[in-house]
Structure formats: structure tokens, C-alpha cells
């Protein structure tokens, strides 16, 4: 059974409990294996079996519980339609595609309008299919704005709630001033007519029936499908307050407290505060998904390609693999490829976080979306469309943002079940105060907290209803829906900004909880290829001369150690000519004749066989071997000349990364297949005390599990392909230096750059994000938890004060404000390493191969 995963854009989600409703509906649908809905992203990620159901059935499951699946629209100009039949051909051909929700082709206008789900199919694929049907299709210019449609939708919601806020806040303030005209000094500047109940009704009705209408409509939509959501709390609260006020206005003797017990200000302020919360939510949602929009904006719209010897400009998504693409200074690179001609420096910071421009010449890879700085060049497109690094990164970030951390699942469950609990509590509060509380404790002189209004002659029903409504409002955990996902989205976005890709919200949560980090040695902590580390001359021979002669002797060698010596000499600027004669002596070394001198390079046995006195070299060689290096003896004309040590050297920043991780309180270990002596030497250099040596590649996962068995949560940092089993076994697998092949990587966290300090960046972002999540959950619940007993009238018997519904609504809005502001603070966060990197960007030393410590 092959499962398929899709991301669907949802519409109509208004609170955290909607998440639970949709997930339940999807999970109940046969053929759906997994469903996760992210309230902040307004997206559903569904894993389903295409053999059992299709997309339409998934859509039906969502629409069946009162929500919408939103699709994008693509407007195409189609050339070559000769008759209305052609329009039918296009409609039939395109509508069969998976991810296409609808298509209308218009023969006379020469256009096709396609509704599609962007998580499943792309405009380029739709255009390709139309071309395969025998027509030419190009996106109409207005279609280019499709990228920003999501932003527009969000902006629309912000504008809508902003308009509601602009209506409800001033009117509510006027209603409040009118209601409390008789208190304090208000009577001196508030006109008397404003305190008239009919005027208050006229002022409140537009708020309740205008901006407040959305709560009634949304809760009715939910109720029709048998689900309750937070809108219902608002609708019942606002509706009941308004209804009592109207009853007391028209029939003051009906027993609801009389004309002094109108609650217009409650209904008005309640609506205003809830809308303030909604406005802030819309604002936060827009801000947290900025990372994706930023990434999308990197994709240039136009590419200049050379086809049939002619340069032409085409839409970037129509570049084909193998096309020669021309890039001028200051232009963005449209797709991934390999430079064929020209030379330039390219700013890759937007994708890798690397602050310095990277030089590019023939044979170098370029990444789509990066900025060409100085020169012009031509490159061959190797990856186009969904295959480009940028497209993969966007996909990965989108998936991560739509995913759900374990802590969020708990919060969603609480929010989903809270509504019922709150209504049950409101019923209990009503029944208690109706049958017992009012008779036992009611005092007509009692007041609302922080309000001059007295309860006066309010009857048993009015009083009990008031407390019941207050409980409904004060208990509403409306901020909980945003608390976790908004922080997670901000965290994944922040990671992407620094070249750290979290594959899901669970990866962030797991990263924040780590106890230990295991680094693979070869290729991760070290470069993975030998380099010359030491050149120690003896007998008065110059150090450079020893290295140069050894390199000349090894010039034609294909042995990795020989190659390392040649590279080392070249890096030191020494001329390496070819030897006059060369002979490899298997298992021993080489013998060569260069510039009329006989050069021997090899191990002890070679020296012994050729009767060279290696005595002066032995203590040097032993010391170097104790450091985990391979020592090679050099003899010139039958006399010992020096020792050259070769070893796998540390990558730049390995030591710094390990030091910082230890400072963060993490245990750092190293795993390698090397012998213990070599491993220990590298571990000493890098500052690691726990070494897991002589571990075969297939045993690495077992070692990770052994560490986990000690009760530790373990991260494994390694090469995403070779170390795949160990990365998968770890709580967090960190694949390092994947460059452009992001999608192929195993691991929960992917580092685009080959810089070990990004492991620290990942840990810092993970920890900071989880701290934000915990803070947000605290702010989301604290007002409710503290407010419920007070709202239910627990203080009333002792202090004769109750919380007014509008104060309850104010508490609720405060929790939304706290969560929103707290999440937005994460956007300003910068990992300490990133700050150092930018400040010190210009002085990052280029790693010199070998020669560290040479000449000792």
C-alpha cells in the first residue's frame, strides 16, 4: 500500500477547537492514515491511501464538518484552440489531474481558468499537460500575483477584523460612557441622552448585529454539523447579555433586573474585546508565515535561456533541465545548475545563512534563488521546478510549519474539550446561584469588580444568568489555539533563515530536550580526507625541502597519503615537478629519483630494507603516531631527512561547536570506525571526552540506542546518507552539509551549510522556541484558570463583588495580546553564533589544508 501526503489550505477555521473537529472528521474517514491541522498556518496535512479514496473525498470530509478547502486559481492564455471542442479537450485533460479542483476553458477568449491545490500540483505541471495536449499555454500576467494570494487572504482577514474593531471600539466606549454617566465625573461631560436605554440599544445593536454576527454565523455552522467551538461561547455570551438588556429596555418589570440592569456595555465591550483578539490572531498568523513568503520571493519570475543559438526570456518555471541559462550581475539565479562559462561571486546568504559571497567559476554549482553579485556567467540547468534546492526548502519548511509537536496535540485536545467543560460549568453555576446562591448571599448593594455599577434590584434569574455568562466568557481559552503553532512557525522560519531546516515541529521539540550529542568523526568533525599536519626535518635539511622532495616523489602516486603530500606542498606554494623515475613499493612506500637525488618515502620497514639509519626519526614518529597521525619517513641519498605526518584534520569550527554545546550543558560524544588511538587523538583536539571507537557503520545505530538506554535523549550529527540508520535511531538526527540535496536527507534537522556551529544554532533555536511555547501556554491559560473561580462567584459570599462580562472579555483579550506579543518577540531573536558569524564574517579564515603545527 503506497500512502500519499498532501497539504491542503483550509478556510473557515476560527478557533483552536476547529482543529480537533477537522482532525476527528478526517481520521474517521476510511483510507486516511494520518491527519494534522495547523490552526496558525490554516493548513491540513493528510496522509492517505489513494487506492481507497481520492482528494474529493478528503475535501468532502472537511466540508462535511463546516469548513472549506481553499484552492488557488491559475489564469492561462491558451494558443491553438481552433474550436469549442478544443476547450473541452483541455477541460477533460486538465480536470483529470490530481490536485485540480476545477477547470474552465473559454474558446472565444482563448483562456483557461484552473482551480488547483498548490500542495499537490504546480502551475508549471498544468501548463506542461496543456502543451502535451497540443496547445501553447502561458500564465496571464495577473497570474504572477498568485504567489501573494495567501498574503492577500490574510490581509483581507486583518482588514475585516480591523474594520470591525474600528466600528466596535469607539461605539463601545460611547456605550460605556452612557451606561456609567451617573458615576464619577462623567455626568459633567457625557450628554444625558446617552444614558437613555433606547439610545444605548441603538448604539449597541450595530456592534452586536454587525461585527458580532460572525460569531453567531460560525457557531451555527458548527452546530449544524454537531460540533461546538469557541464562537458558541462568544455567541451565547454576547447574545444573552444583549437579550437581557433589550428585555429590560422594553419590559423593565419582566423580572430581569429592571431598567437599571441593562447590560448593553457588556454586550458591546465583549464584542470589541473578542474582535481585538481576532485581529491580533490574524496579525500573528501573517507574521509567523513570513519565512515562507520570503523564501518564495527569492524565486525569480523570468529566466534568460539560450535555445537554438538564440537568447530568449521565458518564465522561470519553464526552464528545462539542460537549458543554458545566462545570468547578469545583480540578477537572481532562476534554477539550480553548473557554471559552464564565466566567473562571478554569488550571495547565497538567503539560503545558507553564509554571510560572505561565494566565488563561482566553470564547474561550480549554483543554487536557484541566490543573487549573482559581480560577473556574468552561463550555467547549465541541472534541477528545475520542484527539484530545485529552493523548492525543496520551501516544501520542507511548509511541511514543518503544518506539522504538530506533541505539546501542541495536548493543547489542541484541551482546547477541543474545554468548550464542553465550560458550558457544563456555566450550567452548574447557573443552577447553583438560581436555587441556592442567590437566596443565601445576594446583596442589592453588591458591585462589579473595577466598576461603579451596582447590581441593584436584579432578580434571581438575571443574577444567575450574569454569573453563568461570565463563566462562559472568562473560561474561553481563545489564545491557546495560537500559543504553540505560532511559536513553532516562527521557530522553523528562524531556522530556515540561518540554513537550519527542521523537518517538523516535533523536531524542534525534541531538539530542545536533548541531553547528549554524538558526532560522527569522519566527514563530520573532520574533513574526511588526509592532510599534511607536520613536517619535521632532521640533519640540517630545510623543512620545505623535505616536503618538496617528498611531493616530487609522490607526484604520480595514486595513494591517498601521497596525494595529501602533493596537496600539502602545493598549498605551501612549493614547485612540484615530476620525478625522473618513480617506483611504488607496495606496503612500504615509494622510491624516486628527482633532480639527481634518490628519495625514499615510506615506513620503518622501507628504511630498514634500504639500510637507512632511521634512529633520529623514530622518537619523532612515535610522538606523531601517539597523536593519531600517520608518520612517513623521508630519506634523501641514503640519509634520514625528516618525518612527514599525515592525518584527517578537523574542520574549522569543530572545536568551537563542541565547546559551545558543552557550555549548553550537553554531553558530547564521538563515534567512529577508526582505532581507539586515532579516535582519541582527534577527540582530544576537539575537546570530546567520550569516544565510541572501532564502531562499524552498521553498529552506529546500536550505539545511539545504547546511549538512549541510559535515559538520555540523543542527537546524532552525521552525513545524511552514510549515517542514515544512526540518524533515524537518534531522538534528533542532524544531517550536515547537505547543500542542495535537501529532500534526500535522512534526519530530523538538516543543515544546509557544512558548518558544525549550525548544530549549536539548531539547539539554540529549538530551546528558544520551546521556551516561547511554554510561555505562550502559560499566558493562554493563566487568565482562564485564575478567572474561572472569580467569574463563578466564589468571591461573592465574602466580598459581595462579581466579575462583569466585559471585564471577563478584557481578561480574555489580554491573554491573546500576551501570546501575540510574546511570539513576535521570537522574530527578533538571533542565535548567538549567527551574531558572531556576521560580526566576524570578514575574518573567517579559509581552512589551509594541513601544515598546522608544521616545523616543530
- Cβ-Cβ contacts under 8 Å for 586 (sequence gap 6 or more): none
- Which of 227-235, 315-323, 331-339, 727-735 is the region at the interface with other proteins (rule: CB under 8 A)? 227-235
Nearer to other proteins, 11 or 421 (CB): 421
**Does 435 engage in binding with other proteins (CB under 8 A)?**
yes
The three grid cell numbers given for residue 264, joined into one nine-digit string:
448593553
Residue 254 touches other proteins, criterion: CB under 8 A: yes
Interface with other proteins (CB under 8 A), residue from 87, 269, 426, 756 = 426
Select from 240, 384, 407, 680 the one that contacts other proteins (CB under 8 A). 240
Q: Note whether 424 binds other proteins by CB under 8 A.
A: yes
The correct pick among 37, 114, 232, 490 for binding other proteins (CB under 8 A) is 232
Angle (CA) 74-75-78 rounded to 5° is: 125
744 within 8 A of 760, measured Cβ to Cβ: no
All cell numbers assigned to 440: 443565601
Is 28 among the residues that bind other proteins (CB under 8 A)? yes
Q: Which are the contacts of 157, defined by CB distance < 8 A and separation ≥ 6?
A: 282, 285
520 is catalytic: yes
Whichever of 236 and 378 has its CB closer to other proteins, that residue is 236
User: Which alpha helices (H) appear in 82-185, and where do they start and end?
Assistant: 84-95, 123-132, 149-179
Q: Does 236 bind other proteins (CB under 8 A)?
A: yes
Cell 545583480 sits on residue: 330
**Cβ-based nearer residue to other proteins, 372 or 464:** 464
Please say which residue, 228 or 395, places its beta carbon nearer to other proteins.
Answer: 228
Stretch that binds other proteins, among 219-227, 546-554, 637-645, 733-741 (CB under 8 A): 219-227
Asked if 773 contacts 506 with a C-beta cutoff of 8 angstroms, the reply is no
Instruction: Compute the least distance from the CB of residue 56 to other proteins, in Å.
Output: 8
507 neighbors 748 (Cβ within 8 angstroms): yes
Report, in Å, the least distance between residue 409 CB and other proteins. Answer: 18
Residue 307 or 417: the one with the smaller Cβ distance to other proteins is 417
Nearer to other proteins, 254 or 844 (CB): 254
Give me the phi and psi of 572, to 5 degrees please.
-85, 0
10 Å CB burial of residue 722 (0-12, 13-18, 19+) is middle
End-to-end CA distance of the chain: 64
Q: Are the CB atoms for 301 and 316 separated by under 8 Å?
A: yes
**Could you say which of 67, 263, 430, 811 contacts other proteins (CB under 8 A)?**
430
804 within 8 A of 453, measured Cβ to Cβ:
yes
Q: How far is the CB of 256 from other proteins (least distance, A)?
A: 7
Size of the site for other proteins (CB under 8 A): 35
Select from 19, 25, 367, 707 the one that contacts other proteins (CB under 8 A). 25
User: How many angstroms separate the CA atoms of 344 and 208, rounded?
Assistant: 63
Give the separation between CA 122 and CA 124, rounded to whole angstroms. 5
| Catalytic residue selected from 229, 323, 520, 758 | 520
Which stretch, 21-29, 266-274, 368-376, 645-653, contacts other proteins (CB under 8 A)? Answer: 21-29
Name the minimum Å distance from CB 394 to other proteins: 31
Q: CB 290 → other proteins: shortest distance, Å?
A: 35
6 part of the interface to other proteins, by CB under 8 A? no
Interface with other proteins in residues 60-79 (CB under 8 A): 60-61, 64
Site for other proteins in 703-762 (CB under 8 A): none
Nearest-angstrom CA–CA distance, 130 and 95: 11
Residue 424: strand, helix, or coil:
helix
Q: Which is nearer to other proteins, 244 or 512 (CB)?
A: 244
With CA atoms as reference, report the closest residue to 6 among 53, 40, 67: 53
Report yes or no: 554 and 563 within 8 Å, Cβ to Cβ: yes
Q: Please say which residue, 232 or 646, places its beta carbon nearer to other proteins.
A: 232
Residue 29 within binding range of other proteins, rule CB under 8 A: yes
Question: What is d(CA 258, CA 252) in angstroms, rounded to the nearest whole number?
Answer: 4
Work out whether the CA dihedral 363, 369, 375, 379 comes out positive or negative: positive
By the rule CB under 8 A, 33 interacts with other proteins:
no
Q: Which of 69, 176, 201, 227 binds other proteins (CB under 8 A)?
A: 227
223 binds other proteins (CB under 8 A): yes
- Choose between 423 and 503: whose C-beta lies nearer to other proteins: 423
Shortest spacing between CB 270 and other proteins, in angstroms: 17
Instruction: Give the C-alpha separation, 179 to 181, whole Å.
Output: 6
Binding to other proteins by residue 57, rule CB under 8 A? yes
Question: Which of 161/464 has CB closer to other proteins?
Answer: 464
Our CB check for other proteins shows the closer of 30 and 596 to be: 30
Distance CA 643, CA 377 (A): 45
Q: Report CA 151 to chain centroid distance, whole Å.
A: 18
264-288 and 290-297 helices, crossing angle to 10°: 40
CA angle 581, 585, 589 (to 5 degrees): 95
Contacting other proteins (CB under 8 A), which of 9, 285, 332, 423? 423
Give the residue, chosen from 468, 470, 654, 823, that forms a contact with other proteins under the rule CB under 8 A. Answer: 468
Strands 690-692 and 667-671 turn out to be parallel
Distance CA 438, CA 499 (A): 63
Stretch of 228-236, 697-705, 720-728, 802-810 contacting other proteins, by CB under 8 A: 228-236
State CA 409 to chain mean position distance. 17
Stretch that binds other proteins, among 270-278, 326-334, 463-471, 824-832 (CB under 8 A): 463-471
* Stretch in the footprint of other proteins (CB under 8 A) among 34-42, 365-373, 455-463, 655-663: 455-463
Residue 85 binds to other proteins (criterion: CB under 8 A): no
SS3 per residue for 588-601: CEEEEEECCEEEEE
CB of residue 769 to other proteins, shortest distance in Å: 33
Among 51, 145, 356, 431, binds other proteins (CB under 8 A): 431
Of 51, 145, 166, 420, the residue at the interface with other proteins (CB under 8 A) is 420
Shortest gap between Cβ of 108 and other proteins (angstroms)?
A: 37
Please tell me whether residue 778 binds other proteins under the rule CB under 8 A.
Answer: no
What are the strands of the beta sheet with 358-360, ordered from one edge? Answer: 358-360, 344-347, 371-372
- The stretch near other proteins (CB under 8 A) out of 77-85, 303-311, 427-435, 515-523 is 427-435
Sole window of 105-113, 194-202, 252-260, 556-564 interacting with other proteins (rule: CB under 8 A): 252-260
Whole-angstrom distance, CA of residue 105 vs CA of residue 755: 51
Task: Tell me the chain's radius of gyration from C-alpha atoms.
Answer: 35
Taking Cα atoms as reference points, which of 583, 616, 587 lies closest to residue 600? 583
In Å, how far from its chain's centre is CA 594?
A: 59
- Indicate whether 461 belongs to the interface with other proteins (CB under 8 A): yes
Residue 55: CB minimum distance to other proteins, A: 12
- Applying CB under 8 A, which part among 417-425, 557-565, 795-803, 808-816 lies near other proteins? 417-425
165 to 211, 283, 605, 816: CA distances (angstroms): 8, 13, 88, 15
Q: Are 458 and 261 within 8 A, CB to CB?
A: yes
Question: Any residues with CB less than 8 A from the CB of 582 and at least 6 apart, and which?
Answer: 553, 555, 556, 557, 590, 591, 592, 593
> From the CB of 42, what's the least distance to other proteins, in Å?
21
Exactly one of 82, 226, 363, 573 binds other proteins (CB under 8 A); which one?
Answer: 226
Distance between CA atoms of residues 261 and 249, nearest Å: 9
Give the residues lining the site for other proteins (CB under 8 A).
Answer: 24-25, 28-30, 53, 57, 60-61, 64, 223, 226-228, 232, 236, 240, 254-256, 420, 423-424, 426-427, 430-431, 434-435, 459-461, 464-465, 468
Write out the catalytic residue numbers: 520
Amino acid at each position: 500500500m503506497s500512502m500519499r501526503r498532501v497539504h491542503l489550505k483550509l478556510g473557515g477555521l476560527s478557533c483552536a477547537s476547529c482543529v480537533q473537529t477537522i482532525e476527528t472528521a478526517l481520521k474517521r474517514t476510511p483510507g486516511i492514515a494520518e491527519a494534522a491541522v495547523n490552526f496558525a498556518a490554516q493548513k491540513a496535512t493528510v496522509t492517505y491511501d489513494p487506492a481507497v479514496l481520492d482528494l474529493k473525498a478528503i475535501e468532502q470530509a472537511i466540508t462535511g464538518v463546516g469548513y472549506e478547502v481553499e484552492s488557488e486559481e491559475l489564469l492561462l492564455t491558451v494558443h491553438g484552440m481552433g474550436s469549442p471542442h478544443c476547450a473541452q479537450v483541455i477541460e477533460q485533460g486538465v480536470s483529470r489531474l490530481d490536485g485540480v479542483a476545477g477547470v474552465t476553458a473559454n474558446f472565444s477568449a482563448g483562456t483557461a481558468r484552473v482551480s488547483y491545490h498548490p500542495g499537490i500540483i504546480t502551475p508549471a505541471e498544468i501548463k506542461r499537460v496543456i502543451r502535451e495536449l497540443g496547445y501553447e499555454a502561458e500564465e496571464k500576467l495577473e497570474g504572477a500575483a498568485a504567489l501573494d494570494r495567501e498574503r492577500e487572504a490574510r490581509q483581507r482577514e486583518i482588514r475585516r477584523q480591523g474594520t470591525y474593531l474600528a466600528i466596535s471600539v469607539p461605539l463601545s466606549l460611547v456605550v460605556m460612557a452612557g451606561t456609567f454617566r451617573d458615576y464619577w465625573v462623567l455626568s459633567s461631560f457625557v450628554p444625558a441622552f446617552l444614558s437613555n436605554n433606547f439610545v444605548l440599544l441603538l448604539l449597541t445593536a450595530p456592534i452586536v448585529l454587525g461585527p458580532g454576527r460572525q460569531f453567531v454565523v460560525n457557531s451555527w455552522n458548527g452546530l449544524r454539523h454537531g460540533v461546538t467551538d469557541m464562537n458558541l461561547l462568544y455567541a451565547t455570551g454576547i447574545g444573552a447579555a444583549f437579550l437581557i438588556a433589550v428585555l429590560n429596555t422594553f419590559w423593565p418589570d419582566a423580572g430581569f433586573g429592571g431598567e437599571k440592569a441593562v447590560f448593553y456595555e457588556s454586550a458591546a465591550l465583549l464584542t470589541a474585546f473578542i474582535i481585538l483578539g481576532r485581529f491580533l490572531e490574524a496579525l500573528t498568523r501573517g507574521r509567523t508565515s513570513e519565512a515562507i513568503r520570503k523564501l518564495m520571493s527569492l524565486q525569480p519570475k523570468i529566466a534568460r535561456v539560450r535555445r537554438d543559438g538564440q537568447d530568449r526570456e521565458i518564465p522561470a518555471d519553464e526552464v528545462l533541465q539542460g537549458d543554458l541559462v545566462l545570468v547578469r550581475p545583480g540578477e537572481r539565479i532562476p534554477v539550480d545548475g553548473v557554471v559552464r562559462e564565466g566567473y562571478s561571486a554569488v550571495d547565497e546568504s538567503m539560503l545558507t545563512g553564509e554571510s560572505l559571497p561565494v566565488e563561482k567559476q566553470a564547474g561550480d554549482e549554483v543554487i536557484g534563488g541566490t543573487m549573482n553579485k559581480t560577473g556574468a556567467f552561463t550555467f547549465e540547468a541541472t534541477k528545475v521546478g520542484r527539484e530545485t534546492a529552493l523548492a525543496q526548502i520551501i516544501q520542507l519548511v511548509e511541511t514543518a510549519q503544518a506539522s504538530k509537536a506533541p505539546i501542541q496535540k495536548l493543547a489542541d485536545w484541551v482546547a477541543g474539550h474545554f468548550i464542553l467543560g465550560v458550558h457544563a460549568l456555566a450550567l452548574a453555576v447557573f443552577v447553583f446561584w438560581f436555587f441556592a446562591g442567590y437566596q443565601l448571599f445576594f446583596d442589592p448593594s453588591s458591585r462589579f469588580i473595577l466598576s461603579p455599577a451596582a447590581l441593584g434590584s436584579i432578580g434571581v434569574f438575571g443574577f444567575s444568568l450574569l454569573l453563568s455568562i461570565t463563566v462562559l466568557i472568562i473560561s474561553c481559552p481563545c489564545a491557546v489555539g495560537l500559543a504553540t503553532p505560532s511559536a513553532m512557525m516562527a521557530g522553523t522560519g528562524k531556522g530556515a533563515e540561518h540554513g537550519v531546516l527542521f523537518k517538523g515541529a516535533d523536531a524542534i521539540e525534541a531538539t530542545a530536550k536533548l541531553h547528549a550529542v554524538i558526532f560522527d568523526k569522519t566527514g563530520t568533525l573532520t574533513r574526511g580526507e588526509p592532510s599534511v599536519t607536520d613536517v619535521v626535518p632532521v640533519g640540517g635539511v630545510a623543512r620545505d625541502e623535505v616536503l618538496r622532495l617528498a611531493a616530487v616523489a609522490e607526484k604520480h602516486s595514486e595513494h591517498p597519503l601521497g596525494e595529501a603530500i602533493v596537496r600539502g606542498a602545493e598549498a605551501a606554494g612549493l614547485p612540484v615537478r615530476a620525478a625522473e623515475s618513480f617506483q611504488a613499493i607496495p606496503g612500504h612506500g615509494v622510491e624516486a629519483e628527482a633532480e639527481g637525488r634518490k628519495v625514499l618515502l615510506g615506513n620503518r620497514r622501507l628504511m630498514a630494507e634500504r639500510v637507512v639509519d632511521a634512529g633520529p626519526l623514530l622518537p619523532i614518529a612515535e610522538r606523531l603516531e601517539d597523536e593519531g597521525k600517520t608518520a612517513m619517513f623521508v630519506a634523501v641519498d641514503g640519509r634520514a631527512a625528516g618525518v612527514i605526518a599525515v592525518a584527517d584534520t578537523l574542520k574549522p569550527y569543530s572545536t568551537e561547536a563542541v565547546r559551545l554545546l558543552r557550555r549548553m550543558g550537553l554531553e558530547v560524544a564521538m563515534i567512529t570506525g577508526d582505532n581507539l588511538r586515532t579516535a582519541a587523538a582527534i577527540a582530544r583536539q576537539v575537546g570530546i571526552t567520550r569516544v565510541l571507537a572501532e564502531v562499524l557503520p552498521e553498529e552506529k545505530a546500536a550505539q545511539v540506542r545504547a546511549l538512549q538506554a541510559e535515559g538520555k535523549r540523543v542527537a546524532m550529527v552525521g552525513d545524511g546518507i552514510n549515517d542514515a540508520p544512526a540518524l533515524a535511531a537518534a531522538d534528533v538526527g542532524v544531517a550536515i552539509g547537505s547543500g542542495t540535496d535537501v529532500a534526500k536527507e535522512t534526519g530530523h534537522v538538516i543543515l544546509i551549510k557544512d558548518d558544525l556551529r549550525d548544530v549549536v544554532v539548531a539547539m539554540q533555536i529549538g530551546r528558544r522556541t520551546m521556551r516561547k511555547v511554554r510561555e505562550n501556554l502559560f499566558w493562554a491559560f493563566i487568565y482562564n484558570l485564575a478567572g474561572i473561580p472569580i467569574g463563578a462567584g466564589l468571591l461573592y459570599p465574602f466580598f459581595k463583588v462579581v466579575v462583569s462580562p466585559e471585564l471577563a472579555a478584557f481578561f480574555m483579550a489580554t491573554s491573546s495580546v500576551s501570546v501575540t506579543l510574546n511570539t513576535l518577540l521570537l522574530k527578533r531573536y538571533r542565535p548567538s553564533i549567527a551574531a558572531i558569524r556576521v560580526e566576524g564574517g570578514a575574518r573567517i579564515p579559509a581552512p589551509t589544508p594541513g601544515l598546522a603545527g608544521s616545523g616543530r
